[in-house]
Amino acid sequence: MQTLGGWRSQLSLLGTTRLPVFSMDGDYIIGGVFSIHHYIHTVKHNYTTMPEPLRCTGSIDTRELRFSRAMIFAIEEINNSTKLLPGIRLGYQIHDSCASVPMAVQVAFQLSNGLDPVFYTGDNCSQSDTVMAIIGESGSTPSISMSRVIGPFNIPQVSHFATCACLSNKQEYPSFFRTIPNDQFQADALAKLVKHFSWTWIGAVRSDSEYGNNGMASFLDAAHKEGICVEYSESFYRTDPRSKIQRVADVIRRSTATVVVAFAASGDLMILFEELTQKPSPPRQWIGSEAWVTDPNMLRFTLCTGTIGFGIQQSVIPGLRDFLLDLSPTEKVVPVLVFFFLDCQKSEALCVKKSQHPYTNKQKFRITNMVYKAVYAIAHAVHNTVLNIQIYELVNWQKSKSGSIELVTVGLYDASLPVGQEFHINKNITWVEDSTQVPSSVCSDSCPPGTRKVLQKGKPICCYDCIPCPEGEISNATDSPDCFPCPKEFWPNAERNICFPKPVEFLSYNEVLGIILAAFSVGGACLAVITAAVFFRHRTSPIVRANNSELSFLLLFSLTLCFLCSLTFIGTPSEWSCMLRHTAFGITFVLCISCVLGKTIVVLMAFKATLPGSNVMKWFGPPQQRMTVVSFTFIQVLICTIWLVLRPPFPLKNLTIYKERIILECALGSVVGFWAVLGYIGLLAVFCFVLAVLARKLPDNFNEAKLITFSMLIFCAVWITFIPAYVSSPGKFTVAVEIFAILASSFGLILCIFAPKCFIILFKPEKNTKKHLMNKNQY
């Protein structure tokens, strides 16, 4: 193996030509570019002397060193294989880019043009200038610069850690490949992670590079789609002046967002954490991208305890750890490995300590495995099989029992699973300040069902007020932007998050009012039947014979029907009951009034018949009386028939009277028909009342006109009062008012006309004589 130490004497011959950190000859050479050092030496140009060669400074990034050593391990493993590339030996040239674009570009030119570090004068030429592919760089920005240099030469570049989604553009980077998912997958996963824990108010920081800027842009776009608001988004770079780093740190300290998403390289974020350590900020829950969240060098920052983020799945690479610890004699002179060799020479304890260093203290590997895969990808030429890997591990910074911070895999994220099932968290997560509770980071708490979100004026969409849904509307989801009305026959519950069917209300036999009205209805009918029975038992008595027994029995029959027809108004309205209730009521009442009218006319005719030479009774005898009753009743039957034929009553669910319940009632169908029926009854009642008033003072003992007058007075008073009460009563009380009017007028008729007669028949039989009836003012 040819090392850097063996080439120092030849450096003057090469000007600014860089020597590889590690190299080995072979049939085909694979180039490697890693950011082993953190910084590049700043060169000041005076334009009078030759510029100094580019060189690296600063501390060594042990993770990047491990990447380069893993590449060597994989190549040696392939060279020792009898199945993969038999008879062909792979070589390598591994360079340090110093995490710098200028250095990465210089190395890319050197690898692409085959510039050898030595001059060969003999015939045996080396194959070391044949670079078949390049592995690297770790950062997206240096990788972009390298790809623009080597792309025109169609030299494949396979990166193990450059995740910028922009590098997937094959028009600009046709020869670029990678063994790690691009940042679009990670950005989507981070947005879903933030949404998963209901954080809607966050801060964001990023590296001011292609990796940070493009990755954060993808994250912010995904976060916006998830309804997440960002309080601030700051960028910085490791070479920025300290004043800018301090400004970013102050923004974090002053912010109200508890959660901070950092899409940054570890070298950049290390500078920010060091600044935050100088003056600690309030506790922050950090969400990390893969570039830094799995870097063991970052675990020294205790202020980030509880950090959570995604890491590439860990894999075991058999033999790699032993390879990292076992340095060959030629490797012990390589400058970047000297510190291991010297410590092991000094004491065994220091050597053991080095074995516990993050560089070597690994059984499973993440990004190192991506380097390992890149080597094998080149060897197998199966680039496309590893481009769409989407499985991440969810990693968490947790304190161990000894108090140190360690990286713990707590779950998986698999983008190939259905939406909402991508996360599999199988271990407890330690949050900021060692809390086991998921920290809250929202501008406004979620709006519960029954409310809707109203954005606060001049603030982001994550800042809103929760307004209760208006009457008749609900929202059944958390953070609902709108309320929606319940269907017509439904009404919200008290919380206004569920629509329930509205209760249906009608006058039923199961409620007190219905029972009372039904009892009076049946009682009135029984009273009419009993009265008829009394009259029939004493049908030969003078008082019964003197009151026109035929009309009296017909009147009692019609009153019985009047009492019973009120029962049709109680119960569930149906098509038949709606048609029956009004027509039965109208016809039976007209029959009743017709009988009373006939009795009144008989009284008047009886008086006229007592005058000398009068034969008027022969013109209003029993046949004429029957014809009068039938004629008046027939007119009402005709009115009801026309009503039922043209626009009959029908059951209706009334949704307008009450918003919260349904009134099941009988619609009139034709309002004209209904008032025509009532108007005809009223017309007959008024006519009967007038005749009864005229006959109340006739000079004869046989005069029941006074009782008829009083009964008609009650009847008219009831129905005149009924009209405003009927119109103004809501819901089922409209039906109750109508039943009350029917029962009141019916009881008025039976009590005024028949009660005095029954009293004489049952309790004053001595007055039930023809002689007594002929006396004046018997009533």
**In the prediction, which pLDDT does 2 show?**
37
| Cα→Cα distances 625→553, 586, 750, Å | 13, 21, 20
716 in any annotated domain: yes
Rounded Cα gap, residues 30 and 740, in angstroms: 106
The length of the chain, given as a count of residues: 779
CA 56 and chain centroid, separation: 55
Long-range contact pairs involving 331-334 (C-beta distance under 8 Å, separation at least 24): 331/1, 331/3, 333/3, 333/5, 334/3, 334/4, 334/5, 334/21, 334/22
Where residue 770 falls among pLDDT bands split at 50, 70, 90? Answer: low
Q: What is the mean pLDDT of residues 634-655?
A: 89
pLDDT reading at 700 higher than 50: no
**In the prediction, which pLDDT does 655 show?**
84
**In the prediction, which pLDDT does 8 show?**
30
190 in any annotated domain: yes
pLDDT reading at 434 higher than 50: yes
Burial of 519 (0-12, 13-18, 19+ CB in 10 A): exposed
Q: What is the mean pLDDT of residues 469-483?
A: 91
Same structural domain, 408 and 474: no
**In the prediction, which pLDDT does 355 show?**
52
Same structural domain, 669 and 695: yes
DSSP-based three-state secondary structure for 412 = strand
Rounded Cα gap, residues 451 and 477, in angstroms: 9
Return the DSSP state at 450.
T
pLDDT reading at 443 higher than 80: yes
**In the prediction, which pLDDT does 235 show?**
96
Is the torsion defined by CA of 280, 283, 284, 290 positive or negative? positive
748 in any annotated domain: yes
**In the prediction, which pLDDT does 619 show?**
57
11 in any annotated domain: no
Rounded Cα gap, residues 463 and 53, in angstroms: 54
pLDDT reading at 602 higher than 80: no
Q: What is the mean pLDDT of residues 144-167?
A: 91
- 216-230, 302-316, 639-653, 727-741: lowest mean pLDDT where? 727-741
Same structural domain, 415 and 540: no
Rounded Cα gap, residues 160 and 66, in angstroms: 13
Same structural domain, 522 and 662: yes
Rounded Cα gap, residues 42 and 217, in angstroms: 31
Q: What is the mean pLDDT of residues 466-475?
A: 92
DSSP 3-state percent helix, strand, coil across the chain (nearest 5): 50, 15, 35
pLDDT reading at 173 higher than 90: yes
Rounded Cα gap, residues 337 and 21, in angstroms: 10
pLDDT reading at 306 higher than 90: yes
Percent of the chain with pLDDT over 90: 30
Q: What is the mean pLDDT of residues 444-465?
A: 90
CB 692 within 8 A of CB 597: no
| Cα→Cα distances 90→25, 70, 126, 133, Å | 8, 15, 14, 11
Q: What is the mean pLDDT of residues 725-745?
A: 83
3 in any annotated domain: no
776 in any annotated domain: no
- 133-142, 576-585, 763-772: lowest mean pLDDT where? 763-772
Which two tokens mark 437?
């509770």
Tens digit of each residue's pLDDT (9 = 90 or more) over 661-692: 888 888 888 889 888 988 898 888 888 888 87
Q: What is the mean pLDDT of residues 714-725?
A: 81
CA 729 and chain centroid, separation: 43
311, 336, 369: which is the final residue of a domain?
A: 311
Where residue 87 falls among pLDDT bands split at 50, 70, 90? Answer: confident
Tens digit of each residue's pLDDT (9 = 90 or more) over 198-238: 999 999 999 999 899 999 999 999 999 998 999 999 999 98
Give the range with max mean pLDDT: 109-123, 188-202, 413-427, 736-750. Answer: 188-202
Tokens 């391990």 correspond to: 73
**In the prediction, which pLDDT does 410 show?**
92
477, 501, 525: which is the final residue of a domain?
A: 501
* Of 459 and 364, the one with more pLDDT: 459
Where residue 277 falls among pLDDT bands split at 50, 70, 90? Answer: very high
Task: Compute how many other C-beta atoms are within 10 angstroms of the C-beta atom of residue 85.
Answer: 15
Same structural domain, 755 and 680: yes
> How would you write 480-501 as a 3-class SS string?
CCCCEECCCCEEECCCCCCEEE
pLDDT reading at 14 higher than 50: no
**In the prediction, which pLDDT does 88 show?**
77
| Cα→Cα distances 251→66, 244, 245, 440, Å | 35, 11, 10, 19
pLDDT reading at 701 higher than 80: no
* CATH code, domain with 257: 3.40.50.2300
Same structural domain, 382 and 395: no
State phi, psi for 362 to the nearest 5 degrees. -140, 135
**In the prediction, which pLDDT does 416 show?**
64
Tens digit of each residue's pLDDT (9 = 90 or more) over 280-297: 788 999 999 998 998 888
Rounded Cα gap, residues 85 and 716, in angstroms: 118
Same structural domain, 280 and 255: yes
Where residue 18 falls among pLDDT bands split at 50, 70, 90? Answer: low
Q: What is the mean pLDDT of residues 519-523?
A: 93
Burial of 435 (0-12, 13-18, 19+ CB in 10 A): middle
Tokens 């994250």 correspond to: 219
**In the prediction, which pLDDT does 295 show?**
87
Beta strands in 97-200 (DSSP E): 131-135, 157-159, 176-178
Same structural domain, 137 and 162: yes
pLDDT reading at 403 higher than 60: yes
pLDDT reading at 278 higher than 70: yes
Q: What is the mean pLDDT of residues 727-754?
A: 84
Rounded Cα gap, residues 98 and 105, in angstroms: 11
Q: Report helix angle 622-646 to 671-695, nearest 10.
A: 160
Beta bridge partner(s), residue 465: 454
Long-range contact pairs involving 240-245 (C-beta distance under 8 Å, separation at least 24): 240/208, 242/275, 245/271, 245/272, 245/275
**In the prediction, which pLDDT does 582 show?**
83
Where residue 389 falls among pLDDT bands split at 50, 70, 90? Answer: very low
Domain limits for position 478:
451-501
777 in any annotated domain: no
Identity (one letter) of the amino acid at 420?
G
Same structural domain, 373 and 403: no
Where residue 16 falls among pLDDT bands split at 50, 70, 90? Answer: very low
Quote the mean pLDDT of the chain.
82
Q: Which of 160, 9, 7, 2 is nearest to 93 (CA)?
A: 2
CB 219 within 8 A of CB 189: no
Same structural domain, 407 and 304: no
Tens digit of each residue's pLDDT (9 = 90 or more) over 406-419: 999 999 887 767 88
Q: What is the mean pLDDT of residues 239-257?
A: 93
* Of 275 and 41, the one with more pLDDT: 275
Q: What is the mean pLDDT of residues 128-134?
A: 73
**In the prediction, which pLDDT does 142 show?**
92
Which two tokens mark 212?
């940070």
DSSP-based three-state secondary structure for 209 = coil
Rounded Cα gap, residues 733 and 634, in angstroms: 31
- 138-142, 389-393, 577-581, 646-650: lowest mean pLDDT where? 389-393
Cis preceding-peptide flag for 234 (omega within 30 of 0): no
Beta bridge partner(s), residue 96: 34
Q: Which helix (H) or strand (E) holds 2?
A: strand 2-3
Q: What pairing do the DSSP bridges indicate for beta strands 405-414 and 391-399?
A: antiparallel
pLDDT reading at 181 higher than 80: yes
Same structural domain, 58 and 159: yes
Where residue 709 falls among pLDDT bands split at 50, 70, 90? Answer: confident
Please give the tally of structural domains in the chain: 5
Give the range with max mean pLDDT: 117-126, 328-337, 393-402. Answer: 393-402
**In the prediction, which pLDDT does 695 show?**
67
CA 65 and chain centroid, separation: 49
Same structural domain, 199 and 232: yes
pLDDT reading at 329 higher than 50: yes
Beta strands in 578-694 (DSSP E): 650-654, 662-667
Where residue 349 falls among pLDDT bands split at 50, 70, 90? Answer: very low
9 in any annotated domain: no
